[in-house]
Amino acid sequence: MSEFDYRQKAWSAGLIVLFFLAWELFCLMTGMSDLVLPRPSQVFTTLFEKFPILWPHILQTLATTMIGFVLGVGLGVVLGAIIGVSKTAYDTAYPLLVGFSSIPKVAVVPIFVLWFGSGTVPAVLTALSICFFPIVVNIATGLATTEPELEDVLKALGASKLDILWNVGLPRTMPFFFASLKVAVSYAFVGAVLSETVASNRGIGNVMMTASSNFNVPLVFAGLFVLAGLGVALYVIFSLIEGRVTGWATRKNDVITT
């Protein structure tokens, strides 16, 4: 890692600290009531004090997110593979997929609640339905952009469609796939919290909803901080996995010449 990277990181951390300091000072100077906007110090104190109560809800939210995410990835990979391999399937299914993905998912939650009652199931389904689309698009794009010459070389050897998919199509899709994973995991998280907020008695979304109806504003903000932290953590984890698995796709300027 170069000196430049370290300096970049220092600046990023500095900006975050500066943001909280400015917030704190703004509240102190204007004498803002903590019923409207609590100071970050209050929020962190609440977070620390209420952590034992928050913990099961954090686990709940993480669990629904991950279950929805895993199911969404499964569905996304299958659909993406199907429409990526066949041009006809791509053209046929794409309008429907776009239509489905452009529905605001908050509008779908009441339907899930109607079918499955409030709680974990609608949260998982919302997470799933919001996160599978970027995966479908990326898998399909990766498969559809396989070089025709290479396909010809392999077909001339007698390779079946499955051989080509396994040896060329799927590996070349990996950078697209992992790039979409980190987007999808954030989406899944948004979906899970959304559903918990609307219809659940567990999860961080529900904690925030309850706290806000009790005017416990610092707790609302504590919930928000937890969500931000979890969202960043999930994103970072999948970015790291992406870097490890598909390092070949990020080229280095290291060309040998004859």
Partner 1 sequence: MMRMQPHSEFAGTPVPAAAAPIAIELSEASVTFGRGARAVPALSTTSLRIADGEFVALVGPSGCGKSTILRLVSGLVQPSSGVVIVGGREVAARAMRVGMAFQNPTMLPWMSIERNIMLPLKIVEPFRSQFRKLRKTEFRDKANALLEQVGLKGFGNRYPWQLSGGMLQRANLCRALIHEPRMLLLDEPFGALDQFTREELWSILQELWIAHKPTVLLVTHDLREAAFLGSRICVMSARPGRILDDSRVDFVRPRTVAMTFEPEFVALNQKLRAFIVDARTAATKGAA
**Contacting residues toward partner 1, per CB under 8 A:** 147, 149-150, 152-159, 163, 167-168, 171-172, 174, 246, 248-249, 251-252, 254-258
CB 223 within 8 A of CB 48: no
Q: Which is nearer to partner 1, 107 or 157 (by Cβ)?
A: 157
What's the min distance (Å) between Cβ of 198 and partner 1? 43
Q: Which is nearer to partner 1, 111 or 153 (by Cβ)?
A: 153
Residue with tokens 């469609």, as numbered in its chain:
161
Q: Which is nearer to partner 1, 93 or 159 (by Cβ)?
A: 159
Neighbours of 10 (CB within 10 A): 10
Q: Report which of 69, 52, 65 is spatially closest to residue 207, judged by C-alpha positions.
A: 52
What's the min distance (Å) between Cβ of 90 and partner 1? 21
What's the min distance (Å) between Cβ of 83 and partner 1? 23
Q: Which is nearer to partner 1, 125 or 164 (by Cβ)?
A: 164
Q: Which is nearer to partner 1, 75 or 249 (by Cβ)?
A: 249
Give DSSP secondary structure letters for 61-84. Answer: HHHHHHHHHHHHHHHHHHHHHHHH
CA distance 6 to 217: 37
What's the min distance (Å) between Cβ of 148 and partner 1? 9
Neighbours of 214 (CB within 10 A): 9
What's the min distance (Å) between Cβ of 202 and partner 1? 43
What's the min distance (Å) between Cβ of 150 and partner 1? 4
What's the min distance (Å) between Cβ of 155 and partner 1? 6
Q: Which is nearer to partner 1, 213 or 253 (by Cβ)?
A: 253
Tokens of 38: 């609590």
Q: Which is nearer to partner 1, 7 or 87 (by Cβ)?
A: 87
Give the list of residues 6+ apart from residue 204 with CB closer than 8 angstroms, or none: 54, 57, 58, 60, 61, 193, 196, 223, 226, 227, 230
Residues in the chain: 258
Give DSSP secondary structure letters for 180-220. Answer: HHHHHHHHHHHHHHHHHHHS-SSSHHHHHHHHHHTT-HHHH
What residue type is assigned to position 64 of the chain? Answer: T
